[in-house]
């Protein structure tokens, strides 16, 4: 055993399991972001997390197992505090705050890297990427669809499908394709754009616009 490997083994043994797992998964995320699945190197991941390859394999017996665990770890980034979606607040203000959150969250470098990784590996691992999408959706779509259902029940909107409405809202506010292409909205234009988008969204799903649909 080399001195470096010995030091890594000693350090790994001295760390709590949760701390070591977090270090491994963060190192794996960085590796997968930069190299993709095929070219990701487990030795580099072990070195970056200051542990050893055998220690990594004891926790994740294959690269695919590590990839799945890394996707689950990254999905936690989407566990959002949506307590501001309060029926006592003006609807336009609550939706603006939601739009602002999506704009900032979905535009972060980490989320853009996740999106690229998912697109890159979706053909090779369709089930894993679908699992990642479903895990992400559970992190924030539940509270949003519940709020949108309240908008329907209160006759503020008439959405035939509140989940579809939530996906449309997140796509419009997050602008994922533009973010992937490196388009940056100037700071002074963000608020006017998002407020106009909220008006557009509410008008598009207004009860009069959607008469005859299955929305309530």
CATH of residue 35 = 1.10.10.60
Sorting pLDDT into bands at 50, 70 and 90, what band is 132?
Answer: confident
Q: What is the pLDDT of residues 28-77, one digit of tens each?
A: 999 999 999 999 999 999 999 999 999 999 999 999 999 999 988 988 88
What is the pLDDT, as a whole number, of residue 76? 83
Do residues 37 and 29 lie in contact, with contact meaning Cβ atoms separated by under 8 Å?
Answer: no
pLDDT at 180: 76
Residues 118, 120, 121, 127, CA torsion sign: positive
Q: Tell me the pLDDT band of 6, cut-offs 50, 70 and 90.
A: very low
The region of weakest confidence among 24-28, 66-70, 171-175 is 171-175
The residue among 113, 122, 90 whose CA lies nearest residue 195 is 90
The number of distinct structural domains making up the chain is 2
Question: 107, 174 in Cβ contact below 8 A?
Answer: yes
Phi-psi region of 50 (alpha: psi -120 to 50; beta: other; left: phi over 0): left
For residue 210, the SS3 value is coil
The more confident residue out of 140 and 123 is 123
Q: Which of 167, 163, 178, 48 is nearest to 115 (CA)?
A: 178
52 and 83 inside one domain: no
CA 85 to chain centre: 19
Give domain status of residue 159, yes or no. yes
Tell me the pLDDT band of 7, cut-offs 50, 70 and 90.
very low
Point out the domain boundary residue: 50, 71, 92.
Answer: 71
- The answer to whether 101 and 80 have CB atoms below 8 angstroms apart is yes
Q: What pLDDT band is residue 216 in, cutting at 50, 70 and 90? A: very low
97 class by beta-carbon count within 10 Å (0-12 exposed, 13-18 middle, 19+ buried): middle
Q: Give the residue, 16 or 39, on which the prediction is more confident.
A: 39
pTM: 0.78
End-to-end CA distance of the chain: 68
Sign of the four-CA dihedral 127, 131, 133, 137:
positive
Mean pLDDT, residues 95-116 = 89
42 lies in the same domain as 135: no
Q: Which residue range is the domain that position 41 belongs to?
A: 3-71
pLDDT at residue 109, rounded to an integer: 84
Least confident interval from 12-26, 70-84, 142-156:
12-26
């Amino acid at each position: 055993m080399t001195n470096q490997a010995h030091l890594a083994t000693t350090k790994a043994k001295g760390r709590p399991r949760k701390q070591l797992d977090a270090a491994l998964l963060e190192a794996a995320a960085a590796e997968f972001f930069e190299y993709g699945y095929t070219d990701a190197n487990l030795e580099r991941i072990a070195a970056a997390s200051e542990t050893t390859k055998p220690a990594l394999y004891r926790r994740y017996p294959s690269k695919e197992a590590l990839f799945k665990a890394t996707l689950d770890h990254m999905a936690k980034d989407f566990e959002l505090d949506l307590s501001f979606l309060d029926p006592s607040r003006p609807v336009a203000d609550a939706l603006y705050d939601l739009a602002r959150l999506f704009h900032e969250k979905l535009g972060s470098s980490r989320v853009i890297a996740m999106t690229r990784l998912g697109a890159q590996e979706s053909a090779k691992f369709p089930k894993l990427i679908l699992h990642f999408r479903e895990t992400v959706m559970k992190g924030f779509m539940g509270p949003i669809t519940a709020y949108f259902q309240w908008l329907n029940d209160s006759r503020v909107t008439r959405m035939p499908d509140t989940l579809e409405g939530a996906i449309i809202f997140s796509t419009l506010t997050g602008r994922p394709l533009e973010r992937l292409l490196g388009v940056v909205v100037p700071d002074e234009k963000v608020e006017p754009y998002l407020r106009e988008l909220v008006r557009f969204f509410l008008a598009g799903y207004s009860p009069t616009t959607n008469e005859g649909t299955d929305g309530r």
